[in-house]
Structure 1
Amino acid sequence: MKQMSAFTTHQQLVITLLALTQFTVVLDFMVMSPLGDMLMKSMSIKPNQFGLIVSAYAFSAGVSGLLTAGFADRFDRKRLLVFFYGGFILGTFCCGLANSYVTMVAARIVTGLFGGVIGAISLAIVTDLFDISQRGRVMGFTQMAFGASQVLGIPIGLYLANAWGWEAPFLLIAGLALVIVLLIWFILEPVNAHLAVQRDKSAFLHLWHTVQKRDYRIGFTATALMSVGGFMMMPFGSAFAINNLHITAQQLPLLFMVTGVSSLCIMPLLGKLSDKIDKFRLFATAALFMMGVVIVYTHLSPHPLWMIMGLNILMMGGIMGRMIPFTTLITGIPDLSDRGAFMSVNSSLQQIAGGIAALIAGMIVSQQSKYSPLEHYDTLGWVIVGLTVPCIFLVYRVSMLVKKKLAKGAVMRGAPLPAEA
């Protein structure tokens, strides 16, 4: 194991701002699952329609990522982040004002057009400002947004939704994001070193030169396959817990809170571990573990709340155990001049694949009435397992590509050992 380098004060500030940004973006997406049962009942929509609401965000985010990719390396990343974050705030506010199925779909499209690019911009900033030997820890902290959204955001959102309606969480997110975007504007320094190494004269050529690179396409494929499996269970998580596992609406916030607290403890440890050991080995171990937990959970019948909480904690550990090393590896693929475009295309494919997964899940899962159990949810578990196996092979290829770049000194500024990737 190698010795880890410390973060500078500015790097710590960047991590904090990006983590806060990710918190609101993740919460906006994650809150759809716990609000799913409430939305389906209040708007009288079916599982396939709710799947479309979820996928509307994903598809619009994917299109936005592709349209933005060619321009992503031609502007200061701070200014890009502020612009798209501002659009995200507007879209989330519109979600809180939606009063029908159609207006909710439209609001999710607007939110996705802006929110779907924020993750790519954040990753590009991380890749520009942090050495790959530090990125596992950075990912561990920024990915804590998932845990924090479950510990703070989702329970508070559910309590507000139970008290004032499902619109309240979206209005809360928009208000919090408004404060954060002001902090970014006044505190974050410009991130523009990539502007000095631009070669392409047009945005279209820059996008084309990015997608035609074979190494990049391997990373894109791995991301898409990861996303298809990851997005399948999420949209119907609360509906399955309430209608199949007999979790009450009052217990649901506690379930998400306990799972989130465990995530906050697990993710920094996984981030540090990812910087110390081989990232692919960590990914493969977590993927195999997750496959087993997913099969158990999707076949679950009503059980005591503590047992359901335990399975959710284990499943979240497996998911994060995959995501942190995988995301760290992905940041090691692009060159400095291509990072913005690569991250935008990668995020776009992630969102589109997730949207397809949500649509497929909506077609697989069915429900006889508003209050009857979900049917065929166990099928989703087997589909996820089937997709995870080839994904492990693709991530192995990504790991080999990154180690090759490390050996040539193309990613790290020091003299690393290729095995450390």
Structure 2
Amino acid sequence: MKKDTSATPFTSYQKFVIISLALTLFTVVLDFMVMSPLGDMLMKSMSLTTSQFGLAVSAYAISAGISGMLTAGFADRFDRKKLLLFFYTGFIIGTVFCGLAYNYWLLIAARIFTGIFGGVIGSISMAIITDLFDIHHRGRVMGFIQMGFGASQVLGIPFSLYLANLWDWQAPFMFVAILGAIIALVILSKMQPVTKHLAMQQQRSAVAHLWHTLAKRHYRMGFLTTCLLSLGGFMMMPFGSAFAINNLGLTNEQLPLLFMFSGISTLLIMPVIGRVSDKVDKFKLFTGASLWMIVMAIIYTHLSTTPFWVVVTLNILMMMGVMSRMVPSGALVSAIPDMADRGAFMSINSSLQQIAGGLAAAVAGMIVVQKDKTSPLQHYDTVGYIIGGLTIVSIYMLYRVNVLAKSKMKEEKL
């Protein structure tokens, strides 16, 4: 009888790594995610159109994607701990710049700078996870790591909105920078070097290593799947707060509660999904979650003025689908690259994810229209239909990734 290795407890050091990476990603996710709840405040304070705000969101994502692509060839040539600290320091500096911005173009410049550094952190973290944890534990680890997403909503976004209401919209960025500096110091002093991959490196230039990674057909399958997942995932997000306030009738005081309840549900769901994904077929879990998300996204984007608790309930149900896709898809895609290519693969994968997300935000900004600062958003329902179509295609693509991942695992056992 085959032993269930997914239930093996983590060591104290492994727990430290998981917590450290979760906190690191908490700050990175919060820095990016807070743009959505601050959206209504930003658009009104700077008199921005929906397309301008979409550009502000996409500026970070696209610059992050380009940065990740440029650094992919070097990603497997350094201690992953040092690489993480280098880019995390740049991210902290960029976040400070965001907090000091006082007009639209300075904000755009600051978001580009932050994206150049922040966009690479997720891929480095994924490479560290893949190096330190085998495929049978990765779903559980990713479940805990993704709790940073939920924590950013439960704690980060409500507190950030409180700071923004107390002072101004720049305050949340300064909060993220201070918290990030503390986390960086802990990683610097406590995390061990991550260098096992260096022994497997071949003598290639950075450009050759990047091309070598891009040239592999089964790697490209993973990249394309990630792009499709990002296109659907990013389209609703930028205008979430503006839609909630101007279409659903929520107040600025209710907005933090909406994000908090959604975040609490995420914190409860993610560890469960992580464990389930290590015990059942990951593709089947992803497919069920995707179909559920399509239904909820279309319902949600067609709402008009709605009671607060109904909005909260529907938002939680939709987030269940969104988050339940992330763990199994991430685990399957991470199984594709060889150890010697993981850093480059994760960097390219993260880059394409960011670029696709940035394009999705920009396209959503062109689809969604708002006549004036207080009028309802128009054509948000169109975004829901587009997400549904993209999700159907992503199911097929992840099926092919699933076949590749299972084939690779069989080869490794031989």
**What is the match of residue 270 of structure 2?**
267
Whether 1:172 aligns to 2:175 is yes
Q: Distance in 2 between matches of 1:168 and 1:101?
A: 16
Match of 2:37, SS state, is coil
**What is the match of residue 394 of structure 2?**
391
**What is the match of residue 284 of structure 1?**
287
Which amino acid counterpart does residue 247 of structure 2 have in structure 1? N
Which amino acid counterpart does residue 321 of structure 2 have in structure 1? G
Q: TM-score, normalised by structure 2?
A: 0.98
Whether 1:123 aligns to 2:126 is yes
Q: Distance in 1 between matches of 2:203 and 2:273?
A: 38
Match of 2:244, SS state, is helix
Residue deviations 1:82-122 (CA, integer Å, cap 9, x gap): 00000000010100000000000000000000000000000
Aligned-pair CA distance for 1:200: 3.4
Q: Distance in 1 between matches of 2:13 and 2:178?
A: 26
Q: Distance in 1 between matches of 2:399 and 2:381?
A: 28
Aligned-pair CA distance for 1:304: 1.0
Q: Distance in 1 between matches of 2:146 and 2:153?
A: 12
Alignment of 1:40-59 (within 5 A): 40-59=43-62
Alignment of 1:59-208 (within 5 A): 59-208=62-211
Q: Distance in 2 between matches of 1:185 and 1:352?
A: 30
Whether 1:232 aligns to 2:241 is no
Q: Distance in 2 between matches of 1:194 and 1:67?
A: 20
Whether 1:311 aligns to 2:314 is yes
Q: Distance in 1 between matches of 2:281 and 2:342?
A: 23
Out of 365, 383, 402, which is 1:362 matched to? 365
Which amino acid counterpart does residue 112 of structure 2 have in structure 1? I
Runs of 4+ with deviation above 4 angstroms: none
Residue deviations 1:99-151 (CA, integer Å, cap 9, x gap): 00000000000000000000000000000000100000101000011110000
**What is the match of residue 320 of structure 1?**
323
Percent pairwise identity: 64
**What is the match of residue 418 of structure 1?**
none
Q: Distance in 2 between matches of 1:30 and 1:397?
A: 30
Residue deviations 1:194-252 (CA, integer Å, cap 9, x gap): 00010132100000000000010000000001000100000000000000001000000
**What is the match of residue 379 of structure 1?**
382
Match of 1:374, SS state, is coil
Q: Distance in 2 between matches of 1:127 and 1:201?
A: 22
Aligned-pair CA distance for 1:159: 0.5
Q: Which runs of 5 or more structure 1 residues have no equivalent in the other structure?
A: 416-421
Match of 1:369, SS state, is coil
Q: Distance in 2 between matches of 1:377 and 1:123?
A: 33
Out of 249, 255, 259, which is 2:258 matched to? 255
Q: Distance in 1 between matches of 2:3 and 2:365?
A: 46
How many matched pairs? 411
Q: Distance in 2 between matches of 1:200 and 1:385?
A: 45
Contact 1:35/1:166, CA 8 A, preserved across alignment: yes
**What is the match of residue 419 of structure 1?**
none
Which amino acid counterpart does residue 50 of structure 1 have in structure 2? F
Aligned-pair CA distance for 1:2: 6.4
Which amino acid counterpart does residue 50 of structure 2 have in structure 1? P
Out of 15, 20, 26, which is 2:18 matched to? 15
Q: Distance in 1 between matches of 2:371 and 2:264?
A: 34
Q: Distance in 2 between matches of 1:258 and 1:341?
A: 37
Q: Distance in 1 between matches of 2:33 and 2:370?
A: 22
Contact 1:38/1:166, CA 8 A, preserved across alignment: yes
Q: Which runs of 5 or more structure 2 residues have no equivalent in the other structure?
A: none
**What is the match of residue 29 of structure 1?**
32
**Aligned alpha-carbon RMSD (Å):** 0.9
Q: Distance in 2 between matches of 1:82 and 1:43?
A: 34
Which amino acid counterpart does residue 128 of structure 2 have in structure 1? I
Alignment of 1:215-226 (within 5 A): 215-226=218-229
Alignment of 1:333-372 (within 5 A): 333-372=336-375
Q: Distance in 1 between matches of 2:76 and 2:179?
A: 28
Contact 1:220/1:349, CA 8 A, preserved across alignment: yes
Q: Distance in 2 between matches of 1:394 and 1:380?
A: 21
